[in-house]
Amino acid sequence: MTTAALIVAAGRGQRAGGGVPKQWRPLAGRRVIDWTLQAFQDAADIGLIALVLSPDDDAARAEFAGRPGFVVATGGADRAGSVRNGLAALAGRGVTRVLIHDAARPCVRADTIAAVCAALNDHVAAAPGLAVTDALWTGAQDQVTGTRDRDGLYAAQTPQGFHYDAITAAHAAHPGGAADDVEVARAAGIGVAIVPGDPDNLKITRAPDFARAERILGAQMDIRLGNGYDVHRFGPGDHVVLCGVTVPHDRGLQGHSDADVGMHAITDALYGALAEGDIGRHFPPSDPQWKGAASEIFLRHAADLARSRGYTIGNIDCTLVCEYPKIGPHAEAMRDALAAIMDLPRDRISVKATTSERLGFTGRGEGIAALATAALVRA
């Protein structure tokens, strides 16, 4: 059983302003559509995404065509036509259930998606709805002309979920003009279960909606912190490598790789923030190919892994603990080296040093320790 998401993103809606269709406008550091797609990519129940794009969106088609887990379809003359094209693009791919969602609803939460999917275990169709709680008026020329009973009324939301074959047949038989896919399903005699809607699952329609969506998404921001700690002992040598910089010294650091204790601590901090273990998990010391390896290989892998998960590296803070060599004269070069490896602005990287007041192994000059903290942000 495969559940697909069908994201309708072919509209040209300009009521929200901005000069471009609202799904391509920036919102809280990303495009509206990026937030929407991320929600379904992160959903455990979704195995495939059909993205319906306007025939005029050549750049978007080039961006998403061939992306793993995506199928791109061309929009139709109206929303119903776009949905039919998206359903057709999913044919023959083993899809048994489909969640149809508006690209302009970027604040959809994981629990709403999960609730619709769960309801489809017992129903052919299900959709989120918000019970109307406000008084309802009719009006004309800025004057109230009457009231309406709100009992039993719901505000419809997406994603609206269906058994794939049932909604495909319902769309094929529908004459057109439906407000949404629930109306199409009901016209075909399909019962639709209501799951709880979310007040924050708004559809961006007008300019003020962007400000509200930005507040909602800001509250959903995923921030992770990771800590790293590493130690290497001194041995024979005439230099040490610290945070990517070669520092002359009368001894060297011993280790399986190049023993860059600072870079190792930073790498472990990044892995820790991702809940991905430590360097040894990804680059086992038992594997001879990593003997003497440059530690920038490990750090670059950790940084790339964070980005592949949708995270931005907020900042890095590294403290080197040693009596000698003196770190201060090299700290700026270390920041530059780390910035180049992680592709970060140097003002997001801190390298500093302290002594242990001649206490412990670092105080006795037996080795160097490093502590690091990494902050990851996924907006």
**pLDDT digits 0-9 by tens, 222-273:** 889 999 999 999 999 999 999 999 999 999 999 888 999 999 999 999 999 9
DSSP-derived letter for residue 251 is: S
pLDDT band at 16 (very low <50, low <70, confident <90, very high): low
54 three-state secondary structure: coil
Whole-model pTM? Answer: 0.65
Query: Which has the closest alpha carbon to 370: 351, 342, 348?
Result: 351
Give the model confidence (pLDDT) of 301-318 as tens digits. Answer: 999 999 998 899 999 999
368 shares a domain with 240: yes
How many domains does the chain fold into?
2
Q: Looking at residue 379, what is its pLDDT? A: 62
Q: How far apart are CA 60 and CA 367, in angstroms?
A: 53
Q: Looking at residue 251, what is its pLDDT? A: 95
Q: Looking at residue 11, what is its pLDDT? A: 80
Q: Which of 196, 219, 242 is the last residue of a domain?
A: 219
Q: Cβ neighbours of residue 5 under 8 Å, at least 6 residues apart?
A: 40, 43, 46, 48, 49, 50, 98, 99, 101, 159
Q: How far apart are CA 183 and CA 97, in angstroms?
A: 18
40 shares a domain with 189: yes
Give the model confidence (pLDDT) of 183-224 as tens digits. Answer: 999 999 999 999 999 999 999 999 999 999 998 887 667 889
User: Rounded mean pLDDT of 291-305?
Assistant: 93
Q: Looking at residue 6, what is its pLDDT? A: 98
Give the model confidence (pLDDT) of 157-189 as tens digits. Answer: 999 999 999 999 999 999 989 999 999 999 999
188 shares a domain with 45: yes
180 shares a domain with 270: no
Q: How far apart are CA 30 and CA 49, in angstroms?
A: 19
pLDDT band at 18 (very low <50, low <70, confident <90, very high): low
117 shares a domain with 241: no
Mean pLDDT for the chain overall: 93
Q: Looking at residue 285, what is its pLDDT? A: 86
The two tokens of residue 300 are 């670059």
pLDDT band at 342 (very low <50, low <70, confident <90, very high): very high
146 shares a domain with 231: no
Q: Looking at residue 28, what is its pLDDT? A: 85
241 shares a domain with 116: no
CB 310 within 8 A of CB 273: no
CATH of the domain at 252: 3.30.1330.50
- Give phi and psi for 378, each to the nearest 5: -120, 110
Query: Which has the closest alpha carbon to 244: 337, 361, 353?
Result: 337
Q: Which domain holds residue 32?
A: 2-219
194 shares a domain with 73: yes
